[in-house]
Structure 1
Amino acid sequence: MQLIDRALNALEILSQNMNGMSVTDLAEQLGIPASSTHRILSSLKGNHFVVQDEHTKKYRLGYKICAIATGVVKGSALTQAAQMPMRRLAEKIDRNVVLCIMEHGAVMNVACSERGDSNMYMVKIGHEIPFYSTSAGRVFMAYMNWSEALDILDREKRTKTTPNTKTDLKELNEELDRIHNQGYAVIDEELQMGIIGAACPVFDRNGELAAAIAFTSMKDGDTEKMFQRICQLKECAKEISEAIR
């Protein structure tokens, strides 16, 4: 079991270092000897889960991981139901549209329809995103009890990634109430300067929060256009909610 845990941890670390890692660097992050790390990588390489660069000798994820991830996404009723509405919305607003879920106390991007400016905030499928400084993360917290949200906020470092990032608990509490009442969240240059994002809740047949649908955009100062996009986002969220009921 320990070997399996270490192999899975190695894959997770490699997923966050797309340029590859040396045996030494990976061993340091895993907290195990380089010899043990080398054995793990050799096994993963033999099964095509990782590949090794011939020149740098660094290891990175192999395409077999992509095949597994694709199978997970395609096999989800939620992602299947969201696929076409997301694509239509992305075409309408000419922006990246992302589907996020909460699993094991973390918010994760699970699907994306890419459109618009390639310079926008990069969406990585399968990667966790912060609760406190993303529109999807705040949607999930807005539909929790404040005590649950507070546990998450206490766990996160709440680093100010931009001058606009909200980190004050009182301010965040008020923001979550506002999100719950209006049915959407907006992040205005809080995660990255020049980027604005919005998210809406998706509900299952029991009326429980199942996911959040979000988009990111370069900030252009056109508030009327932004409001139109949010209205279209709400319609998309409603369509997905109806499809999974």
Structure 2
Amino acid sequence: MDDETGASPRSRTFVTAFARGLDVIQAFGEGARRLTLSDVAARAGVDRAVARRLLLTLVEQGFASTDGKYFELTGQVLRLGFSYLAAAGLDRRVQPALEALSHRIGESTSLTVLDYPHIVNVARAEAPDRHVRYALKTATRMPATATASGRVLLAGLEDARAEALLASAPIPGFTPHTLRAVPELLDAIRACRAEGYAVVDGELEEGFASAAVPLRDRGGRLVAALATSSHAGRMTAARMRQEVVPLMRAAAREMGSLLL
């Protein structure tokens, strides 16, 4: 039986109220720090009465606050993210190795996970004395299809799953070099899987290249992608392949040894 929104049928174990609560949390974000009840209802796709009950529950639990008109999330919400990071091992255990790699290669480095059609930074180490055009932060989202991290994370899936994800959302073009056809992207993903790394040159922005390798835990499970990027004036894609990728692989092995 379909739910009242007309969406596809849910499993019998699906808890609608819990799902709506998550939708309410996700209604907040960049440019939407403080929202009215009507704002939240519209952004979460629920009616005002439901939004009100959910928001007041979040307030009682300490995950949100209100001045009577506006609602905003509190720092307590970070506990949800920290639980994920700690469970995956992507917490302070790997930060020293990430920072050491950044200092060694002279470029910023990051750990990313897949939230298709995006990748999400979950850890970051800035390059020493490097003035970058874009200061990426933890929780920054970038397109999966045009980044080395995205290729590595998609390569960790079976072909059928990767193809289904590619077909699930429009594939944007950023430069003339951006791969947008699903067959071409699948070939690039398979090549990444075979080689154990990805280097993407000029697909997200002209003159910028990114490299990524898989980070696996001690059981061999893909946990994240370890990535870096650079302007061609500092480092070419060829040099990234020859000099940086081996250092990244060594760092990934070091980090992986810390992960259960």
Q: TM-score range by the shorter chain?
A: 0.7 to 0.9
- Which residue identity does 2:245 align to in structure 1? I
Answer whether contact 1:135 1:186 (CA < 8 A) is retained. Answer: yes
1: CA distance, partners of 2:93 / 2:254: 9
Call closer, same or farther: CA 1:161–1:53 in 2, change over 3 Å: farther
Residue segments in structure 2 that go unaligned for 5+ positions in a row: 1-14
| RMSD over equivalenced CA pairs, Å | 3.3
**Matched-pair identity in %:** 24
* TM-fit CA distance, 1:205: 3.5
* TM-fit CA distance, 1:10: 1.0
Residue in structure 2 matched with residue 187 of structure 1 by the alignment: 200
Residue segments in structure 1 that go unaligned for 5+ positions in a row: none
Match of 1:135 among 148, 156, 181: 148
Match of 2:54 among 37, 40, 56: 40
Answer whether contact 2:215 2:253 (CA < 8 A) is retained. Answer: yes
Q: TM-score, normalised by structure 1?
A: 0.79
Answer whether contact 1:194 1:218 (CA < 8 A) is retained. Answer: yes
1: CA distance, partners of 2:103 / 2:148: 21
SS state at 2:218 partner: coil
Call closer, same or farther: CA 1:40–1:167 in 2, change over 3 Å: same
1: CA distance, partners of 2:207 / 2:27: 29
Call closer, same or farther: CA 1:69–1:118 in 2, change over 3 Å: farther
Q: Does 1:198 align with 2:211?
A: yes
Residue in structure 1 matched with residue 104 of structure 2 by the alignment: 92
CA deviations on 1:58-104 (whole Å, 9 max, x unpaired) are: 43321111244335424543545422211211222343322234589
SS state at 1:210 partner: strand
Call closer, same or farther: CA 1:129–1:183 in 2, change over 3 Å: same
SS state at 1:41 partner: helix
Larger displacement relative to structure 2 (199-208 or 6-15):
199-208
Residue in structure 2 matched with residue 14 of structure 1 by the alignment: 28
Match of 1:70 among 66, 69, 82: 82
SS state at 2:121 partner: strand
Match of 1:237 among 252, 255, 259: 252
* TM-fit CA distance, 1:14: 1.0
Answer whether contact 2:116 2:144 (CA < 8 A) is retained. Answer: no
Call closer, same or farther: CA 1:41–1:87 in 2, change over 3 Å: same
* TM-fit CA distance, 1:11: 0.8
Call closer, same or farther: CA 1:45–1:63 in 2, change over 3 Å: same
Call closer, same or farther: CA 1:96–1:19 in 2, change over 3 Å: farther
Q: Does 1:111 align with 2:131?
A: no
Aligned residues: 242
2: CA distance, partners of 1:58 / 1:162: 41
